[in-house]
Amino acid sequence: MNWAVRISGLAFASLLLSSVAAFAGPKIVSGPGANPECFKPWSDKTKFFQWDKKPGPYRIALVNGFVGNTWRIQMVKTAKAFAEQPGIKENLKEFKVVSTGTDVAAQLGAMEDFINQGFDAIITIAVAPDGFDRIIRLADKNNVVVVPFDNILDTDKVMMVNEDQKEMGRMSAKWLIDESGKTSGDILEVRGLPGNSVDRDRHLGFREVMEAPGNKFNITEVVGNWDTGTSQKVTADALAVHGHFDGVFTQGGSDGTVRAMMDAKQPFVPMSGEGENEFRKQIMEHYKEGLKGMSYGQSPALVAIATKAAISALQGNVMPQLISIPIPVATYKTLKAGENYWPDLNANFFAPNQFLPCGVTFTAPEIMAQSEANK
Amino acid sequence: MSSAAEVPAPARFRFEDSSLAIKLRQNVGLVTAIALFCVIYLLYHVAHPKGFSSAVLVQNGDEIFTLAMVAMAQTVPVLAAGLDLSVGALMTMVGCFASYLLSGAPEGTPINLDLGGLHLVLATLPGGTTGLIVGMILCLVIGTLAGLLNGCVVVFGRIQPIIATLATGAIYIGIALFLRPQPGGKIDDDLNWAMTNSLGDFASTVHIFNDGAAPWFAPLAWIPVPFVLIILIAALVWVPFRRSVTGRAVYAVGSAEGAAYMSGLPIERAKIAAFTLGGFFAGCGGLFLAIQTSSGNADLPQAGAYTLNSIASVVIGGTSLLGGSGGAIGSIFGAMILRVISFFFRIFDIAPLLQPLFEGIILLAAVSIGALRMLRVRNTLELFR
């Protein structure tokens, strides 16, 4: 089959039909990239991209998938606030936000729509790690910068921004082993939303350390969808069946997991979980009773860094293909009131929200205090 | 020569009695859906900076196709007064099969089954275009068989469709998760490109009509492939089915099962056929989604979203959830309306967190238009017709 040979003819035909600019896409160049404190390459092997410089200000769209949990709402609010910030606002002619739900066809359609509308960049949280080949092809053809973040794609053809999810899993496992001082026992793993890359990678990283030679853990796996209510329910179910766990790793909805343990009158055990303020409050209230907690944070402010990266790429700067953002970690030893958690605030939000090297200066309470109506 | 008085006064033409008017009255749901779709879709194109272009039509066609198919799949059981909760799961399962069968590897695609250490080589698909066509047919057969299973459980198990399909849906998702515990797989690049573009791109990819450059072909080249497929499937599968005895029996079962039974209609055959045809349509949707995304993904939330949206599309398209009236064409328009509503968020500036609220309000309004006839009834009994 000589399909591959036909691509050139095909590209030509579609060129005539859709009357778009000639094929462009990013050039692969050698580093270092611009602003390395903020845009840190993932590893030594990370490629560098450079797009043709476009005159500003730019039209940028944020195509979110699923909406309806605290993290996504905080992310959308952060995106809106960041777009209004001096230094960013001047570069933006238009900043549009849509949420397409869990349906991949709708997300693909929305992205293609923005490409057709002539937007300069599209920032997105992909609903699946695969399936965006067509969009990448179209984006390259139309010189549109696509920046997936958070749930990124299994490809090296687009610029992406994320924290190292596997490392989060590994850190969580190490924490449980170090704090419990055991190499065997019963462990509860509360997983996230099935089917996307963040859930998968954290799980893989966690298992890599827990199942390393010498360890004999019996791991019970439940699905909490990163949601406080679901996580609380499945933890309660698991406790009802198993009775006791020596350690708990929860990917999200961490405060729900803790609440289920408290309701079941479980003795507190070492635990690792997400960056919810509520979870951090629980750690500080109960760490003396044994809730030796670690809280890593997938920050909703990733959206701000992705926006900044898109602008930087449009300005013609050299950018790493995969941008690594340091994981903000806090444990019961390092949590400080008013700094990385807020004991007086009851609203649920994700505590890590500042990334000073990237100019993301607002704290989580500042973001969540803004009402949508004022925007 | 006769006097004017002897000539009987010609019957005055009354539009209400013409056959067109009767057709319109009988299909008021469908007509409303089409009119509503035309209005909002026109508005979208007018507001879009690249409106009325092939690129935008292609993009919309790709986005609409799978939902339109799943909505058609939902329609047929609903016409027989049954709800099919497995359509999303069935679609997902077929997509996962497709991600194995349509790799388009030149050396052929071996079909293996690894089950608990057992390694079975079932068959090998030929490489190249033949392999792709065989693979696509296999996918549709799988979808149809799954639909047949639904029908058999409902008819021979004598279980309420809503419960039966809840169970079979869980089975289909289970199979999908077994096939694709993680999203992935590969689908031939050119198949993806050919199916998700305009007819012109299709022709140049599969090398027909002088690579799409034939002069007679030029006026058609802008039409998106997904729209052509929807029309073909509706015209070649749905319309003949609706006109067949089995098809009419499906409507009869939905409107009055007892009467249909007393009239000697093939009730069991109609029910099984309804679910089987639903399986075929959902299979078409799953196959396309897999081709569109070049991968298979056993995505549980997505399967649920498709099932719910399929029911919404059926209602917007003018089919009664009680069964017996409506049709799959209406559901296609219902699915398109559902999609186009969300298109507006991409053009107009609406606060992101308010978008679901707006979507709900517009949806409620769309459904209410169909209920307007309530205001005109003279006798409450008419509501029960």
pLDDT tens profile B273-319 = 999 999 999 999 999 999 999 999 888 889 999 999 999 999 999 89
- Closest residue in chain A to residue B204, using alpha carbons only: A10
Q: Label the pairing between strands B109-115 and B118-125.
A: antiparallel
* Interatomic CA distance for residues A362 and A78, integer angstroms: 9
pLDDT at A22 over 50: no
Mean pLDDT, to the nearest integer, of A28-36?
A: 86
Q: What would the pLDDT profile of B63-98 be if each residue is shown by its tens digit?
A: 999 999 999 999 999 999 999 999 999 999 999 999
Q: What pLDDT, on the 0 to 100 scale, is given for residue A24? A: 67
3-state secondary structure chain A: CCHHHHHHHHHHHHHHHHCCCCCCCCEEECCCCCCCCCCEECCCCCCEEECCCCCCCEEEEEEECCCCCHHHHHHHHHHHHHHCCCCCHHHEEEEEEEECCCCHHHHHHHHHHHHHCCCCEEEECCCCCCCCHHHHHHHHHCCCEEEEECCCCCCCCCCEEECCHHHHHHHHHHHHHHHHCCCEEEEEEEECCCCCHHHHHHHHHHHHHHCCCCCEEEEEEEECCCCHHHHHHHHHHHHHHHCCCCEEEECCCHHHHHHHHHHCCCCCCCEEECCEHHHHHHHHHHHHHCCCEEEECCCCCHHHHHHHHHHHHHCCCEEECEEECCCCEEECCCCCECCCECCCCCCCCECCCCEHHHCECCCHHHHHHCCHHHC
Burial A321-350 (b: 16+ CB within 10 A, else e): bbbbbebbbbbbeebeeeebbbeebeebbb
B115 φ, ψ to 5°? -130, 110
DSSP characters for B279-344?
A: HHHHHHHHHHHHHHHTSB---HHHHHHHHHHHHHHHHHTT--TTSSS--HHHHHHHHHHHHHHHHH
pLDDT at A92 over 50: yes
CATH topology match: A25-162+298-326 vs A165-296: yes
Closest CA to A112 of A136, A79, A130: A136
No. of H helices and E strands in chain B?
Answer: 17, 2
- Closest residue in chain A to residue B195, using alpha carbons only: A134
> Judged by CB atoms within 8 Å, which residues 47-76 of B form the interface with A?
48-50, 53-56, 59-60, 62-63, 65-67
Set of chain B residues whose Cβ sits within 8 Å of the Cβ of A1: 104, 106, 127-129
Domain span including residue B60: 42-345+355-363
Set of chain B residues whose Cβ sits within 8 Å of the Cβ of A66: 301
> Judged by CB atoms within 8 Å, which residues 91-120 of B form the interface with A?
104, 106
Cis peptide leading into residue A57 (ω within 30°): yes
Residue B50 lies in a domain: yes
B190 vs A195: CB contact, 8 Å cut-off? no
Q: What pLDDT, on the 0 to 100 scale, is given for residue B6? A: 62
In CATH, the architecture of A25-162+298-326 is 3-Layer(aba) Sandwich (3.40)
Residue B379 lies in a domain: no
* Interatomic CA distance for residues B253 and B89, integer angstroms: 26
B54 vs A18: CB contact, 8 Å cut-off? yes
Residue B26 lies in a domain: no
pTM (two decimals): 0.84
Helix (H) / strand (E) containing B8: none
Total domains, chain B: 1
- Please tell me what DSSP assigns to residue B13: P
Q: What pLDDT, on the 0 to 100 scale, is given for residue A177? A: 93
Min Cα distance B239 → chain A (Å) is 27
Residue B374 lies in a domain: no
Min Cα distance B218 → chain A (Å) is 10
Residue B33 lies in a domain: no
CATH of A165-296, one of 3.30.499.10, 3.40.50.2300, 3.30.930.10, 3.40.50.10540: 3.40.50.2300
> Can you list the residues of chain B whose pLDDT is less than 50?
1-2
Q: Check if B146 contacts A (Cβ < 8 Å).
A: no
- Chosen for mutation from B46, B48, B58, B59 (greatest number of chain A CBs closer than 10 Å) is B59
Q: What pLDDT, on the 0 to 100 scale, is given for residue B117? A: 65
pLDDT, mean over chain A:
87
Residue B380 lies in a domain: no
Name the residue facing B297 among A97, A128, A193 (closest C-beta).
A128
Min Cα distance B234 → chain A (Å) is 21
In sequence order, what are the beta bridge partners of A50?
Answer: A27, A318
User: Which of A11-15, A265-269, B97-101, B255-259 comes out lowest in average pLDDT?
Assistant: A11-15
Set of chain B residues whose Cβ sits within 8 Å of the Cβ of A61: 346
A108 vs B293: CB contact, 8 Å cut-off? yes
In sequence order, what are the beta bridge partners of A330?
Answer: A295
* Interatomic CA distance for residues B62 and B343, integer angstroms: 13
Mean pLDDT, to the nearest integer, of A17-26?
A: 54
Q: What would the pLDDT profile of A297-354 be if each residue is shown by its tens digit?
A: 888 889 999 999 999 999 999 999 999 988 888 999 999 888 888 888 877 788 888 8
Closest CA to A7 of B104, B108, B207: B207
Set of chain B residues whose Cβ sits within 8 Å of the Cβ of A128: 183, 293, 295, 297, 299
In sequence order, what are the beta bridge partners of A276?
Answer: A350
Set of chain B residues whose Cβ sits within 8 Å of the Cβ of A65: none
* Interatomic CA distance for residues A355 and A362, integer angstroms: 9
Task: Please name the residues in contact with A109: beta carbons below 8 A apart, sequence gap of 6 or more.
Answer: A100, B59, B60, B62, B63, B339, B343
- Chosen for mutation from B196, B204, B223, B287 (greatest number of chain A CBs closer than 10 Å) is B204
ipTM given for this complex: 0.87
* Domain limits, chain A: 25-162+298-326, 165-296
User: Which of A19-33, A137-151, A212-226, B158-172 comes out lowest in average pLDDT?
Assistant: A19-33
Name the residue facing B302 among A102, A112, A372 (closest C-beta).
A102
Q: What pLDDT, on the 0 to 100 scale, is given for residue A374? A: 38
Closest CA to B255 of B305, B151, B326: B326
Q: Check if B129 contacts A (Cβ < 8 Å).
A: yes
Q: Check if B185 contacts A (Cβ < 8 Å).
A: yes
